[in-house]
Amino acid sequence: MTVYAIIGGTGLTQLEGLTLSEELSLDTPYGAPSAAIQRGEYAGREVLFLARHGHPHRIPPHQVNYRANLWALQQAGAEAIIAVNAVGGIHAAMGSGHLCVAHQIIDYTWGREHTYFAGDIEHVTHIDFSYPYDEPLRGKLIAALQALGHAYSSHGVYGATQGPRLESVAEIARMERDGCDIVGMTGMPEAALARELELPYACLALVVNPAAGKSSGIITMAEIEQALADGIGKVKAVLARVLSE
What are the binding residues for phosphate?
10, 52-53, 186
Q: Which residues are annotated as a binding site?
A: 10, 52-53, 185-186, 209-211
Question: Within a 10 A sphere around the Cβ of 180, how many other Cβ atoms?
Answer: 25
Which ranges constitute the DSSP H helices of the chain?
Answer: 66-75, 135-148, 169-178, 190-196, 221-244
Helix axes 135-148, 221-244, angle to 10 degrees: 100
Question: Which residue, 26, 88, 12, 90, is CA-closest to 56?
Answer: 12
Question: Within a 10 A sphere around the Cβ of 121, how many other Cβ atoms?
Answer: 10
Q: Which residues pair with 4 in a beta bridge?
A: 47, 80
Radius of gyration in angstroms for the set of CA atoms belonging to the chain, rounded to a whole number: 17
- Beta strand pairing status for 45-51 and 4-8? parallel
Q: Which residues are annotated as a binding site for substrate?
A: 185, 209-211
Question: Could you tell me the CA-to-CA distances from 210 to 82, 88, 195 in Å, in that order?
Answer: 24, 5, 30
Beta strands per DSSP E along the chain: 4-8, 19-24, 37-42, 45-51, 80-89, 99-101, 104-107, 152-153, 157-160, 182-184, 201-210
What whole-number distance in Å separates Cα of residue 141 and Cα of residue 89?
19
